A and B are shown apart, each in its own frame.
Chain A
Amino acid sequence: MNKKIVKWILIIVIIFWTIMPLYWFLRMAFMNPAELSLFPPHFYPHKPTISGFFNVLGFSYTSSSGEIFIPSGQADQIRRGLMNSLVLASIVTCITLIVTVPLAYTFGRLKFQHKNKLLFAILLSVALPPVSLLIPFFILFVKAGLTGNLIGLTLVHLTITIPFVAWMLMGFFRNLPPVEPLATIDGFSRIATFFKIIIPMSKVGIAVAAIISFLFSWNEYDFAMVLVNGTPATTLPASISGFLFQHPEVEHLAASVIYSLVPPFIVAYLLQKHITEMNITNPIGG
């Protein structure tokens, strides 16, 4: 009984810790400028308005009391950013999965010569700080005509998602039960073992890897700021940052951040459900 109470307290603490910073920021999207400048701050919007959500997409909004909220100057960039980010993140996720799953399997489970050297080559690319690669990437892409479009940004994102996701999947593959010898006895070749046994057993790890690559690409800011900001290929993070360098319209900033959170939350929610459906303690069944 005591244990149960402790558990419930812990769960409430976890929920509070997770939700509070988000809530504190997102509530501002529903406030009008007058309420935002009040001190002490309100815990919740007393006269909630949804004008910000229309304004950042380029629509004006008339409240029930007749007050008119005009569209934000950033609206055009925000709309483009939304589309571009969706396309970009989907492509990056697919390519990353196709590449990293076999890679991580190999490093996580097989013993072979030169393993450490290959591993080091991959880890080195994880260690490079993006800030120090910004200038060379920028100059390289200007020469190759890859600034202002999504191809260049896709390449950059892959250089980051591939090593990162591979690194994390390795730990997952190591913990799978040793089924390869059994598969060999049943007459499976290596390739068949990998595709028909290992991959179905690893859906959870792969789902998490998919979440990570999608979110990384959707959320990447440093390179987007340098490579595509202000062009038609702008991504959402780059276009949102436009709010930070002008007179702060906090309700618009908050509304556009909410838009940027929708796809990640949906992806995370769907894949999360997938995870709980898996029974990976008993993957072979029976």
Chain B
Amino acid sequence: MGYLKHKEKAGDLSNFQFALLLTLPVVLFLVTIIIYPLLYSIWASFQQISFFGGYRTNFVGFKNYIDVLHSPSFWNGAIVSLRFMVESVVLTLSVGLGIALTLKGILKGRGIMYSIIIFPWAVSCYGAGIIFKYFWGGIRSFPSALSFILGEGRSINMLDEHIVIEAISIGNAWHLAPLVALFLLANMQTIPTRLYDMAEIDNLGGFRKFYYVTLPYLRYSLFIFTSIVAVLSLKMFDYIFVQTGGGPGTASAALTYEIYKESFQNLNLGYGAAMSFYLLFLILALTILNYLFWGRKMV
């Protein structure tokens, strides 16, 4: 409290000083705790690391990076990751926005709806993976049960190689959409109600009201969430690992799974590290593209 009073008397800091005071400790913490592992990974990606016959490392230059580019499983992983990302972003944002718009107008029972829709977000990634493994996969899946109820009586395995990416993307959207919806709802509450009164006077219809009044206020959040969902989907490991184990075959072997397999199963640490840098470049490139395409005016 004394500190506060002192500051009050001391008067104003400049914006930059104030920002530095609040952010520098955090930035320093993040940088130190991130920098070491990052440097280690960079070092490892230039080494051939072997465990059998004694631990030893050989400097091999860019060999790992070149080998990765010649590996079909890397390209397969990249395509799987990108498809998973695009489908997840589209599904998550549409579902999230849909939920937010539907709940926005509810007055009675709003609390109950909030507690229901937040459930999936409370589930962990590995939990969602386990849940959807049993929901989509195997002969005792939910779609099979449904087909017996509807009288068709056939077993449907959604984790089949042709649609496995779509199936896991839907699960991912199920898991992430509540967060998007809650933030959009909180965001919608900051829109001044008089704007809606004015829209009423101007006789705007439902869609135009959404487009001209609601959407401009949500643009920043939508931009942020496009980035977040894209990055989360590209980084996703445990959800896919638990649910499909990269299968059937390599149909859902995303880049993260390939990195895990190379590093922890094949113990090819250098090669795995090199591959993880390609993934990092991909994530950074997409984030920057998203920023240039959409976010530049807002940050």
Contact = CB atoms under 8 A, between A and B. Distances in A.
Do A and B pair up? The answer is yes
Interface of A: 7, 10-11, 14-15, 17-22, 24-25, 28, 38-41, 43, 99-100, 102-103, 105-107, 110-116, 118-119, 121-137, 139-140, 155, 158-159, 162-164, 166-168, 170-172, 174-176, 188-192, 195, 204-205, 208, 211-212, 215, 218-222, 237, 240-241, 244, 250, 253, 257, 260-261, 264-265, 267-269, 272-273, 275-276, 280-281
Given A272-B114, A281-B190, A281-B193, A21 B12 contact: no
B106 to A, nearest CB: 8
B238 A122 contact: no
Contacts of B121: 211, 215, 268
Interface of B: 4, 7-8, 10-16, 18-19, 22-23, 25-27, 29-31, 33-34, 36-38, 40-41, 44, 95, 98-99, 102-103, 105-106, 110-111, 113-127, 130-132, 134-135, 139-142, 144-145, 148-149, 153, 155, 171, 174, 178-179, 182-183, 186-187, 189-193, 217, 220-221, 224, 228, 231, 234-235, 237-238, 242, 256, 259-260, 263-264, 269, 272-273, 276-277, 279-280, 283-284, 287, 299
B273 A132 contact: yes
> Which of A119, A131, A136 has the most chain B CB atoms inside 10 A of its CB?
A131
A128 B38 contact: yes
A215 B122 contact: yes
Given A106-B22, A244-B242, A208 B186 contact: yes
Contact of B187 (A172, A222, A240, A269): A172
A209 B36 CA distance: 28
9 residue pairs, one from A and one from B, having the closest CB atoms: A219-B124, A132-B276, A136-B37, A264-B122, A136-B40, A102-B22, A112-B15, A175-B190, A41-B140
A190 B13 contact: yes
